[in-house]
Amino acid sequence: MNETRTAVQLDQEAAVRRELEDFYRDGKPPWDCGVTPPELVALVEGPEPLTPGRALELGCGTGTNAVYLARHGWRVAAVDLVERAVLQAREKVLAADAEVTVLCADATRLDEVGLPGPYDLFFDLSCFCGIPPHRRDAYAAGLTERAAPGALLLMFGYGPGAWDDPISGVTADELRDRFAGWDLIDVTPGTNPVPTFWFTLRRSSGAE
Ligand SMILES: C[S@@+](CC[C@H](N)C(=O)[O-])C[C@H]1O[C@@H](n2cnc3c(N)ncnc32)[C@H](O)[C@@H]1O
């Protein structure tokens, strides 16, 4: 895709990347709790568990949830923008004797890496909500192109205003607008002290 980005947009992308790299350079980032969230566990092991298939995790960090999915029979690929995160994720995969393809890649530029899919499950724990707005349609398009019929996207996101910066945050309305060909089938507020949400989207049946 031919990209024309303004200087402001390039600055925004560089600033986000720098901030993320700093978190991993400074040690264990605050979000890296090593625990798989119950919302993902419910999908995988709940009363009506999904049939294991192919999963893609966007913004996998150090790989806790990619390993969890692999251990539960999923064929997993996972991407993160930050190399230090990817290296740690690969170590976690090795230590777990799991099989996960972990790539250092931008979730808004999946065409640049060899992850054609199709995927039955996409998992995003707080990645999309931090992506600069001008890259979010490309994220949605990348998932849409790689979605198997009826694929699910389970996404956790911070609401706008949760952080003191102008770009972070996601709303249900934004997801409805950006994810053409998907149905937003569930929105459950998170339990954090700031506004957070668990969103579930399903690739519409009959969508091309
Ligand atoms: C808040 S952290 C959460 C990490 C992981 N999901 C977890 O819960 O431990 C967001 C992650 O998304 C990654 N990320 C942000 N923007 C990204 C992008 N455009 N493509 C891939 N990864 C991205 C960051 O490097 C970071 O590891």
Buried b vs exposed e over 83-113: b needs ≥16 C-beta within 10 Å? ebbbbbbbebbeebebebbbbbbbbbbbeee
Q: Check residue 178 and give its pLDDT.
A: 98
Q: How far is residue 94 from each of residues 10, 79, 88, 99, measured CA to CA in Å?
A: 35, 16, 10, 8
Report domain extents, the chain. 44-203
Alpha-carbon span 130 to 139, nearest angstrom? 12
Alpha-carbon span 131 to 174, nearest angstrom? 13
Pocket perturbation via mutation, ligand 1, pick of 127, 135, 196 by most ligand atoms within 8 A of CB: 127
Q: Is the pLDDT of residue 207 over 70?
A: no
**Residue closest to 28 by CA, chosen among 102, 95, 91, 84:** 84
CATH superfamily, domain at 44-203: Vaccinia Virus protein VP39 (3.40.50.150)
Task: Give the ligand 1 atom nearest the CA of 82.
Answer: 25
What lines the ligand 1 site, CB under 6 Å?
20, 31-32, 59-61, 79-82, 85, 106-108, 125-127, 130-131
**How many other CB atoms sit within 10 Å of the CB of residue 133?**
15
Q: To 10 degrees, the CA torsion angle through 112, 116, 121, 124?
A: 0
For 86, the enclosing helix (H) or strand (E) is: helix 83-95
Q: Check residue 68 and give its pLDDT.
A: 98
At position 15, the amino acid (one-letter code) is A
Pocket perturbation via mutation, ligand 1, pick of 9, 12, 20, 153 by most ligand atoms within 8 A of CB: 20
Q: What is the pLDDT of residues 134-185, one digit of tens each?
A: 999 999 999 999 999 999 999 999 998 878 787 889 999 999 999 999 999 9
pTM, entire model: 0.96
